[in-house]
Structure 1
Amino acid sequence: MTVKKYFLTALLTLFVAALNAQGINYYIPQGDYTLNPAVPSPKEFLGFEIGEHHISHDLLISYMRVLSKSSDRVISQEIGTSYEGRPLIFLIITSEENQKNLDKIRERQIMLTDPSKSSSLPVKEMPIVMWFGYSVHGNEASGVNASMAVAYYLAAAQGSEVDRILNNSVIIIQPAQNPDGINRFANWVNSARSYSNVLDPFSREFREPSPSGRSNHYWFDLNRDWLPVQHPETRHRLEIFMNWHPTLVNDYHEQGSTNGTYFSPGIKNSTNPLAPELNRKLTEDISLYHAKAMNEDGVLFFTKEGYDNFYTGKGASYPDMLGAIGILYEQPSSRGHIQLRNGVLLKFPDIIRYQALCTYSAINAGIDKREELNRFKADSYRESQDMARKGTIKGYVISSDSNISLVKELNSILAAHSINLYELSRDITIKGKSFSSKNSYILPLYQREYRLIRTLFDKMTSYIDTTFYDVSAWTLPLAMNLNYEELLSTEGLVGKKVVKVRERVRKELPLSKLAYLFELSDIYSYKILYDLLNRGVAVRVGDKSFGINIGDKLVSLSAGTVMVPVRGQQLSETELHKVVLQHSQESETEFYSATSSFGVEFDLGSAHFKRVSIPKIALIVGRGASYGTIGELWHLLDQKYSIPASIIDASLLSEIDLNQYNTIVLSGNYRLPKEVNEKLKIWSSFQSNTIIAIDQSFQTLNEIGIADIKERSVGVGNINGVILKTTFSKESPILYGVASNELFLFKRGRSVISESVTPGSIVAKYADNPLESGYMPVPTIEAVKGMPAVLVGNGAIYFCDTPNFRGYWYGGSRLFINSLFFRDLIPSSKIQTK
């Protein structure tokens, strides 16, 4: 550090304490108004000023409840909780008169989305419904802290300007979009701060460890979950969001740059093509209000670079599919209370102030452009109806086959977006595939949320701009590996609206003296498999398809069929029957009671039935780990399959007894010490012990010495999140339960593995024409095609990319679950690639 820089830091340290604390007037607009003394200010309730400390979620919730009780302008709604049990709170703020007519206002707002009703609405008189969401990334804490000042101002200010705002709007505030992440970060930064205001950006206060408060409990980025809807924070948010259908939506973030404040519209050619054409023009108009506020406050800003509006699963782009204007805000982050970074002094109170200023400028824009924005919403739904009418594709037909739980998951996602699924009214055949009305459904495009259906189901391979802030593809039916087809007409096919997906007809399950059988077709049949193993029930799995007579009926069963022998169990015949009968009645998995050991191709006593052992799993985190991928797998196991997994820091691998685990999962670039690699090599040599490696962790497999996997060049740049078709033969146990002849896997980054030279090691490889959706330059496609996607051998299973991307990649996650249960059945030869 130079002498000059040293003295600058020292001088700043002397003065920052006085600069750090700011009263409430710093965060609310200047103007001719008074503050209602009956409404407590943040300091009166908390005992400290906004910005002096990072607010914890419990204090935030308590304050918002107090505002609701002390002001007739404010209603608080609490719907559900986060994973860690923290309430999800929403404030609905408007004038006292509007509060009395709130149901009518909401009904009219929803009518804006109905072309048959919107033209008769008194749009000039209607208030604008505006949404303000703060801190979906929990360690971007200025938003949640700013929400207190905004809510207090709207609840307490008395004057003509605030009356104008409240009379002409309904303001919905979600102060904490990510309660668990917010609390994690607040605990860290409040406990790590120095009260003498250390400015050094390398100080502990500003070096939050992984997993950071950015993510939720399972380390997911909740700002990517608006489309997949895999988490309670998103699901409950959408309950309120779709109930109100706001017209102007604001999403408040922080960024690493110190260049200045960002606000939409962003990169011009990186807007999703499904967004209405007028959307950007209105966004630009609104940006002038933010520019005025920032200019008056002396704040630098940028608006045309850095951020796109392409992936529609983010808080600022999702509204574009619903006739709303979504605005993204990114403030330079102090990541603590005050720090000096790149020569810029970043003070937490200032960042909070900028978020509040951008909130007030958004409110002013919404009020001034109220009629125009409401008409835009109505027009966009009218346009959507025309697009649906003129489009070639009219809908999709979807079969549940023997995977009813998968269609339940699909319907759950669709319902969260107010999209209707219908029963198929008659049997049809499309492209040689038969769809029975007994187990098939139809998704017509001609319905209110046409653009949402399109963004969920469309496949894209053509783009104006090929630079992506996030991913270039996210097609839902490919991710879920649905059995579906496009329809050029839905005439005569639309049956009853689905309220609840039809469940399997429960049949009697007689007590067997021989065995019980069930297939792994349904995605949640693995929950049954784990429960049986956890009870100590001996279980076997068939490695080939076979036929067997059940009573007087010949039943064909697929490879991966689970057999539960009756003899030799710790449970009695009656006790075992009670267990399997309960699973048969409570699940979508059909059980069969064997009446004879005779089979067509082979018998139940055949060596074709292999022993299955319970997985004892360690997910390895720590330095170099990909917490996002590990979190996706943790969530999969814990929430969807109720399978316990230990989360172990890599630094402990040298100390702990690895023999308590039989499955170790790696994702990242760990660079483990030599002695740990040797320990893992010895551990993996024992039967049943397996290392599952993902993405760059093939390097750890190589360093351990149980694989020799090489990358091949993909040219310049990374693969920007694409969906690739894979092909396979169904001989591998990793493919048990897969009904289709192709599987679509998600790919991003740079990991492309060269061709395998080990016979039998390839589970799945990328097709010769692999790109199904997303952007990849031709040289990259050439580098990827025909290359391995999943490899097995010698105590190792390798996935080239995350199998459970964003928690909704049900096709890939099945392969991972199979890897846990059937690791004993993989080839013993070492994985080697050219």
Structure 2
Amino acid sequence: MTIKKLFTVSALATALMLAPATMAAPYSDTPDTQRQMWPGATYKQSIPSVKDVLGYNTGDRITSHPDMLRYFEALAEAAPNQVKLVKYAQTWEGRDLIYVAIGSPEHIANLDAFSENMNRLADPRETSKADAKKLIQSTPSSVWLEHSVHGNEISSTDAAMMTAYHLLAAQNDPLVNKVMDNTLVFIDPLQNPDGRSRFIANYYSMVGLEDSADRLSVDQNEPWPRGRSNHYLFDMNRDWLAITQPETAGRIDALNHYKPTIVIDLHEMGGDSSYFFVPSASPINPHMQKAQLDNNDLIGRNNAKHFDRFGFDYFTREVYDAFYPGYGDSWPTFYGASAATYEVASTRGMAYRTTDGHVALFREPVQKHFVASMATLETAADNREKILGDFYQYSVNAIDMGKKDDERTFIIPATTDRAGSHRLATLMAQHGVEVTQASEAFKACGNRYSEGAYIIDTAQPRGRFVKTTFTQQVDMSADFIKEQERRRGRKLRDQIYDVTAWSLPLLFNIETVSCDDGLSVKGSLVAADDKLKGNVENADASVAYIVPWGDAAAGRFLTAALREGIHLKSADEAFTLDDKRAFPAGSLIIEVKANDGDIQQRIEGIAADTGALVTGVDTSWVVDGPSFGSRGTPRMVAPKIAMAWDSPTSSLSAGSTRFILERQFNYPVTAIRSDMLASRNLNHYQVIILPSGFYQGALGERGAANLKSWVNQGGVLITLGSATAFVAGSEAGLLDASMEYALNQDGMSPDETADHRGHVDGSLIKDKSHLIQRIENEKRSPDYVAGALANVEVDQEHWLTAGVNPNVVSMVVGNDIYAPIKLDAGKNLAWFKGGDELLASGYLWKENQKQMAYKPYLMYQPSGNGMVISFTQDPSSRAFMDGLNVMMLNAVFRGAAHATPYR
């Protein structure tokens, strides 16, 4: 007995040290016959199965990134003439991203020719209809399957391995044979290795004696920040527009290379759902073509046929729309593909108990994604020529529509925001759009433009993408909007899935001009990797170097100079030197004598690295504005920045804010646990950022008091979006501002305070609308806004807005609206415009638009030796509002320069 007990304990200890699959497997002991993903299939022994390589059957364990790589490498080794494995990017944490091309030996041998032919089909300017017809007859269709862009949506990676195995190993399968003869299959098995690795590490570190299906168990509830996002906590399914992450950039480059005709993005949704595939829900982006939507209908119908055969439930035309062009399933439509999202009910682990008591096993969503993938491949094979023909016709139509469009040509003038214009132009080139930079002055659209302007003609294959990303307003259908207003009137939740606006020129705060002109201007095509060129005028200046403030290049120069220990100042106001040269507010001043003797070489090096323009001056005599020695030109300091990290901070806001500072401006940020703000000594930091989040419960009065003491001693506290609610109001006492309730409707109901018997005064309800008014809460928040772009006016006479344009645009999400801060407490330095000027793009409820008018966007309140700077909306959202970066940099660096901590 004693010996047996000792052995049992030893065995358990050994199990804890072994792979997690040996620890807990109550749902993994079913016979092999029940594990078959495709009943009746027989497989070649020459192709290794998942069990052969990894030691477990498909669906019996959540496969890690290294094991996924190992398996696909094994397939490539076993079938080198049918598999090509390509590394296309690397994550921030150093994990490789791969895709595999699978096809017949002939198709794989001619993969380069396939890419060339698809790019010929994508450009009817170079390929006639007759040549296109020949290409269509000889070119295979192609399907790109994208898996696990959200790292905690775990089943599709294992489904990807099953799909690859089935295609290579299935014997005498008519569907597989048809696919291999007619179609090239591209499988991206894991789009987010960093997030998945985070999920798996947490899941298997928490699992006990058996996997728990209980939705309250730790197995089913991930800690912050969860595995959905990548290293910088980006939801990469929203990153296809701004392309900020290396994973996204690599995928876009690969898709532009092959231009597959069908692209499927495989996701997971709530565990109590079933399965979603196309047709999509409304609204549909109006710049998509009918043939693409018709092909999606073909795909959906064939999926339904197979799901009926397997007895799988599914739904279509609900929840998941096709409006925003920055998803993995919508971006490919704008080079001509038919693309779609698939969503399967998630187990978020090995098992999940649904509300009806069913215990769903991990292998179930794996199998459903596998079956849907095979059904889609069959559709591609059966409709090869139609889909290729529609692909070619998409570009024909795009060019024809561009020639007839009132906004045929978009021009980005050579403006003072060189960095923003350059970033926008190269971003469009990265998307695959043809962008020309003029090498001479030219006249167009009724104006004259100087050399350096960028020109985009929509009469090109990517013209529809230009239209949907450059046009100020892309409308949802009138019927859809009418239905949302009806639902809102009934106090039902609206059906708007995501943002309703995304105009890139507005997000970048870049002026563009459009007209129906077709231009022929001397210039050169912009490449995605073109570097912004910096320059130092009068490099051997004897007095100072001045960097005009107001764009990202100047921001990068500032952070580089601070990190190198260069002594520099910044002017609070615009100034003019004795030689009549004028410089804007915020301009950086680097005095020669205040720095080491090699300052010229250092300035030239930083200018070259950052793209900044620098002017050397031989006098400090200022005839207008603050002198170099004035209190209006404070010294810039290199602040130590802390950022709240961990619950209750929004992981998306924290990640994007940190990314902007660290990766776009190369300045380090220290992430600290949010709860430490309540009690720890914070004097090591000059700036603390609270990203969006709900801090009241986590920090409370103790946290507010600790932060207030730190601010009074000279700290700069910056709040973004919903974090402003914590510092606002009397409870925290950090910001003398209050959030507003929704507008009241005066006199709509009698006094409904119950008497001692529980009765209220009698009343009359005249009609249904009056009933709705009567049941409305008198004190409620404004209706939630999914995401629109709003115009913001900026105070031009404060150091915190130096270099910021008088008018900027911000994304508006949620329902936070603040009353203006009083003058005796602080200042409202940016506010939403009023009336018809407020909405820049998208859709806002009319009540929100009315109430938001002239309400603050940026508030500033001095306190002791420090200050609180609050944004009522999050300027870091998705890191795609480049036009707000100068405002953010001012808050961090100019705020630190104007604080007066005890030194």
Shorter-chain TM-score above 0.5: yes
1:611 has 2:635 as partner: yes
Amino acid at match of 2:568: V
Per-residue deviation, residues 215-258 of structure 1 (Å, max 9, x unmatched)? 01111101111121111101100111111111111111110141
Between stretches 607-616 and 626-635, larger displacement belongs to: 607-616
Indicate whether 1:600 and 2:623 are aligned.
Answer: yes
Normalising to structure 2: TM-score of the pair? 0.85
How many residues get paired? 803
Counterpart residue number, 2:647: 623
Partner residue of 1:310 out of 302, 317, 323: 323
Question: Is the contact between residue 458 and residue 466 of structure 2 (CA under 8 Å) also seen in structure 1?
Answer: yes
- Give the Å deviation of 1:508: 5.6
User: What is the rounded CA distance, in whole Å, between the counterparts of 2:873 and 2:587 in structure 1?
Assistant: 27
Matched to 1:561, the amino acid is: S
1:394 aligns with 2:408: yes
Partner residue of 1:658?
Answer: 682
- Structure 2 vs 1, CA of residues 462 and 199 (structure 1 numbering), >3 Å: closer, same or farther? closer
Change in Cα spacing, 1:115 to 1:25, as seen in structure 2 (3 Å) is farther
Q: Secondary structure at the match of 1:483?
A: coil
2:497 pairs with 1:472: no
Q: Distance in 2 between matches of 1:521 and 1:36?
A: 64
Deviates more, 1:698-707 or 1:359-368: 698-707
Determine the C-alpha separation between the residues in 2 that align with 1:502 and 1:770: 35
Instruction: Check 1:593–1:507 CA distance in 2 against 1; reply closer, same or farther (3 A cut).
Output: closer
Return the match for 1:183 from 197, 211, 234: 197
State the secondary structure of the residue aligned to 2:343.
strand
| Counterpart AA for 2:600 | H
How far the C-alpha of 1:512 sits from its partner, in A, is 4.6
Q: Would the aligned equivalents of 2:426 and 2:526 in 1 still touch at CA under 8 Å?
A: no
Q: Which residue of 1 aligns with 2:217?
A: 203
Counterpart check, 1:817 vs 2:844: no
- Rounded Cα–Cα distance in structure 1 between residues aligned with 2:437 and 2:740: 47
Residue in 2 aligned with 1:724? 790
Q: How much has 1:521 moved relative to structure 2?
A: 3.2
Shift in Å, 1:31: 5.0
Aligned: 1:543 with 2:572: yes
Structure 1 residues 357 and 585, CA, compared in 2 at 3 Å: closer, same or farther? closer
Any conservation in 2 of the 1:56–1:187 contact (CA below 8 Å)?
no
Asked if the contact 1:480/1:811 (under 8 Å) is kept, the reply is yes
| Residue 303 of structure 2 is aligned to residue 238 of structure 1 | no
The answer on whether the counterparts of 1:109 and 1:245 sit within 8 Å (CA) in structure 2 is yes
The equivalent residue for 2:139 is 126
The CA deviation at 1:513 is: 4.8
Q: 1:495 aligns with which of 507, 520, 523?
A: 523
- Asked if the contact 2:265–2:341 (Cα under 8 Å) also holds between the matched residues in 1, the reply is yes
1:636 matched residue in structure 2:
660
Name the residue aligned to 1:63. 71
Question: Within 1, Cα distance between the matches of 2:465 and 2:31?
Answer: 43
State yes or no: 1:758 paired with 2:823. yes
- Name the amino acid aligned to 2:545: Y
The change in CA–CA distance for 1:681 and 1:35 in structure 2 (over 3 A counts) is same
Closer/same/farther in 2, CA of residues 22 and 785 from structure 1, 3 Å limit = farther
Task: For residue 73 of structure 1, report the CA deviation from its aligned partner.
Answer: 0.6
Would you say the 8 A contact 1:403–1:521 is kept in 2?
A: yes
Distance 1:799 1:95, change over 3 A: same
Pairing partner for 2:841 from 748, 751, 773: 773
In structure 1, distance between residues paired with 2:521 and 2:31 = 64
Check whether the contact 1:27–1:149 (CA below 8 A) recurs between aligned residues: no
Higher deviation after alignment, 215-224 or 710-719: 710-719
Unpaired segments ≥5 residues, structure 2: 1-23, 482-494, 744-781
Name the amino acid aligned to 2:257: N
**1:143 partnered with 2:156:** yes
Q: Is the contact made by 1:724 and 1:772 (CA closer than 8 Å) also made in structure 2?
A: yes
- Report deviation, 1:100: 2.1
Shift of 1:46: 0.7
User: How many Å apart are 1:655 and its aligned residue?
Assistant: 4.1
Letter in 1 for 2:434: N
Task: Give the alignment of 1:151-300 within 5 angstroms.
Answer: 151-159=164-172, 161=174, 162-267=176-281, 269-300=282-313
Instruction: Report how far residue 654 of structure 1 moved.
Output: 3.4
- Deviation, 1:263, is 1.0
Change (3 A) 1:74 1:295: same
Question: Does residue 100 of structure 1 match 2:172?
Answer: no
- Indicate the residue corresponding to 1:348 in structure 2: 362
Taking a change above 3 Å as real, the CA distance of residues 134 and 16 of structure 1, as seen in their structure-2 partners, is: same
For structure 1, the 5+ residue unaligned runs are: 1-14, 829-834
8 Å Cα contact 1:82-1:233 kept in structure 2: yes
Give the direction of change, closer, same or farther, for the CA distance of 1:579–1:37 in structure 2 (3 Å limit): same
Structure 1 position 90 matched with structure 2 position 137: no
The CA distance in 2 between the partners of 1:766 and 1:529, in whole Å, is 29
Contact 2:809 2:883 in 1 (8 A): yes
Match in the other structure for 2:467:
454
The residue identity in structure 2 corresponding to 1:731 is E
Q: Secondary structure at the match of 1:822?
A: helix
Q: Which moved more, 1:129-138 or 1:49-58?
A: 49-58
Residue 612 (structure 2) pairs with residue 589 (structure 1): yes
Q: Distance in 2 between matches of 1:427 and 1:24?
A: 73
Q: Deviations over 1:448-484 (max 9, x none)?
A: 1111111211222643224321110011111111132
CA shift, 1:118, in A, is 5.7
Asked if structure 1 preserves the Cα contact closer than 8 Å seen for 2:538 and 2:617, the reply is no
Match of 1:483 in 2: 511
Query: Given the alignment of the two structures, is residue 686 of structure 1 paired with residue 710 of structure 2, yes or no?
Result: no
Report the alpha carbon displacement of residue 312 of structure 1 after superposing the two structures with TM. Answer: 1.4
Between the aligned partners of 1:358 and 1:313, the Cα distance in structure 2 is 23
- 1:160 CA drift (Å): 5.3
- Mapped partners of 2:36, 2:142: distance in 1: 23
For 1:81, the aligned partner's letter is Q
* 1:519-598 equivalence runs, <5 A: 519-549=548-578, 554-567=580-593, 569=594, 571-572=595-596, 574-598=597-621
| Aligned position for 1:747 | 812
CA–CA separation in structure 1 for the residues paired with 2:829 and 2:563: 28
SS in 2 for 1:609: coil
Map 1:348-367 → 2, pairs under 5 A = 348-367=362-381
In structure 1, the residue matched to 2:344 is: 331
- Give CA deviations for 1:739-779 in whole Å, capped at 9, x if unaligned: x4311111111111223332761221111211110001222
Amino acid at match of 2:155: S
Q: Using the TM superposition, give the Cα deviation of residue 780 of structure 1 relative to its aligned residue in structure 2, in angstroms.
A: 1.7
The answer to whether the Cα contact below 8 Å between 1:519 and 1:561 also exists between their aligned partners in 2 is yes
For structure 1, which segment, 775-784 or 494-503, has the greater mean C-alpha deviation from structure 2 after superposition? Answer: 494-503
Percent of aligned pairs with the same amino acid? 26
Deviation per CA, 1:266-297: give whole Å up to 9, x if none.
32x31111111233332222212111222222
CA distance in 2, matches of 1:661, 1:285: 59
Go from structure 1 to structure 2 and tell me whether the alpha carbon gap of 1:128 and 1:492 turns closer, same or farther (over 3 Å shift): closer
Q: Are residues 751 and 156 of structure 1, via their aligned partners in 2, closer, same or farther at CA, if it must alter by over 3 Å?
A: same
CA distance in 2, matches of 1:680, 1:591: 38
Query: How is 1:70-81 mapped onto 2 (pairs within 5 angstroms)?
Result: 70-71=78-79, 72-81=81-90
Q: Which residue of 2 aligns with 1:674?
A: 701
1:337-364 Cα offsets, whole Å, 9 max, x none, are 1121312312101111111111111111
User: Any idea what SS the aligned residue of 1:17 has?
Assistant: coil
Structure 1 residue 21: Cα displacement:
5.5
Kept after mapping to 1: 8 A contact 2:640/2:685: yes
Query: Structure 1 pair 494/18, CA: closer, same or farther in 2 (3 Å)?
Result: same
Q: Deviations over 1:104-123 (max 9, x none)?
A: 32222223222342622232
Does the CA-based 8 Å contact 1:519-1:558 persist in structure 2?
Answer: yes
